[in-house]
Amino acid sequence: MIKVAINGYGRIGRVAHRVIILSHQDAVDVVAINAGASTDITGWMYLLKYDTVYGILPDVELSVKKAEEVTLPFTSQTPLIGALVINGREIPVFSEREPEKLPWRDLGVDVVIESTGAFTKQEGLQKHINAGAKAAILSAPFKDEEASNTYVLGVNLDQAGTQKVENIVSNASCTTNCIAPIASVIEKAFGIEKAMMTTIHGYTSDQRLLDGGHKDYRRARAAAENIIPTSTGATKAVGKAIPSLAGIFNGLAVRVPVPTGSLSDFTFLVKRDTTVEEVNKAFEEAAKDPKFEGILDVTRDPIVSSDIVGNYHSAIADLSLTQVVGGNMVKVIAWYDNEFGYSNRLVEETIILGQQATGGTENKAVETTQPA
C-alpha cells in the first residue's frame, strides 16, 4: 500500500480522495490530510460526503473525531483539527500553513498530493520532502520556467509504472491532460506546423460568485452570470510534455456558467493535407491503443457538457464536430470533466510515483476503470 497525504482539501483534493475511495483503496492508503481553517472537521466530512456535482459518496461510512479525541502514535506540535473516520479507519486532519512543519516522517508518507494552489514551484514541493515525504506531486503546472518534470499520462509517461521519474513532479492541469493526448495524436499522424486552442471551461473557486475584487478583472465578475475570457497555461505545459510543440501552440480559456464539464476547441495547421475521415480514423485508432486506455475516448453522439460529468477519461474527442478546411487546417473538439477526469490521472500518477518511492516492488499497469 502506498501511503499518501493530501495537502489541500479543496475541489481537487476532495475529488482525488473520492477517486481513491471509489477505485484505488487496494493500492492507496490516505494517512493524513492537511486542510484549511475555512470549516471545522465536521464540515470537511460533510463536503466529502455530499457533493453538488457528483452526489453522495456511496457505500462509505463516514464520521469524525474532534481534535481532543484523536491520539497520534507520536508526539506532534502540528495543529490538529480532528480526524475523518472512513469505514472505521481514522485519518488525522491537520491545519498547518507551512509544509515543513507537517509530520510526514512520523506518518511514513510516501507521496504528498500538493493541491493547495499555494505551492506551485519545485522549492515549495521540496518542503514536503524536507518534512519526510519520499515524493510529492503537484496538481497544477509548475510556475518555474526551467522545471521540466511535468508528466501527462499517455503522452510522456506510460501507465506501466516502469518509466523512471523524479520524486517531485507536476501532473500539469486538467486542460493540459485533455489537450496533450489530442495534440499527440495529430502530431504523430500529420505533423503540426502551429496550433491554437480555446478551452470552454466550467467556472472554478478562483472566480467570484458575485462581482468583487480580483487581480484578473474579468474573473472579478460573477461566475454564474457571465462568459469570462481568461488566460491558461495549458498550452505552454503541453510543450513540456511534447517538446516539438514548444513555442508553436497557444490558447486561452473561456469560463462559462457550469460547475464542471468542459471542452477544448483546437485549430491545427498540419504538415500535410488530410480529410475529416482520416482525422477521425486517427482518433479511433488511438483510442484503442493500450497507452491511451482510460485516457482518450471518442464519440459521435450529439452530447452536451452534462453528459460527460463523472467521465474518467482525460479527453473525449467528438468526431461529429471534426472539420478540415483547405486540406491542412483541422478543427478538433474534445470534451473533458475538468475535475473528475483530472483527479483520476492525478491519483494514477501518484500511484506510479509511490511505487517508485517504495522501491518499485509493485510496478504494474495502473488500472483506469470507472467506478460503477
pLDDT number for residue 368? 53
A 10 A CB-CB count for 330 gives 24
Percent of the chain that is helix, strand, coil (3-state, to 5):
30, 25, 45
Predicted confidence (pLDDT) per residue in 207-218, tens digit: 999 999 999 999
For residue 165, what is the DSSP state? -
- Residue 200 phi, psi (nearest 5): -90, 105
Catalytic residue annotation: 174
Whether the Cβ atoms of residue 20 and residue 28 lie closer than 8 Å to each other: yes
Rounded Cα distance between 287 and 307, Å, is: 19
82: left (phi over 0), alpha (psi -120 to 50) or beta: left
In the chain, DSSP assigns E strands to 2-7, 28-34, 50-51, 55-56, 62-66, 80-86, 89-94, 111-114, 135-138, 168-170, 192-202, 228-230, 249-256, 262-270, 296-299, 315-318, 323-325, 329-336
Rounded Cα distance between 293 and 251, Å, is: 27
DSSP letters for 177-225:
HHHHHHHHHHHHHH-EEEEEEEEEEE--TTSBSSS---SSTTTTSBTTT
- Residue 131 phi, psi (nearest 5): -80, -5
pTM of the model: 0.94
Characterize the bridge pairing of strands 323-325 and 329-336. Answer: antiparallel
C-alpha cell read off for 280: 477521425
For residue 231, what is the DSSP state? -
358: left (phi over 0), alpha (psi -120 to 50) or beta: alpha
Which amino acid type is present at position 304?
V
pLDDT number for residue 364? 46
The answer for residues whose C-beta is within 8 angstroms of residue 211's C-beta and 6 or more apart is: 220, 221, 222
C-alpha cell read off for 319: 468526431
Whether the Cβ atoms of residue 260 and residue 337 lie closer than 8 Å to each other: yes
Query: Which domains are present in the chain?
Result: 2-147 (3.40.50.720), 174-338 (3.30.360.10)
Question: pLDDT tens track of the chain, all 372 residues?
Answer: 999 999 999 999 999 999 999 999 999 999 999 998 899 999 999 999 999 999 999 999 999 999 999 999 999 999 999 999 999 999 999 999 999 999 999 999 999 999 998 898 999 999 999 999 999 999 999 988 776 799 999 999 998 888 899 999 999 999 999 999 999 999 999 999 999 999 999 999 899 999 999 999 999 999 999 999 999 989 888 998 999 999 999 999 999 999 999 999 999 999 999 999 999 999 999 999 999 999 999 999 999 999 999 999 999 999 999 999 999 999 999 999 999 999 999 999 999 999 998 886 443 445 555 543
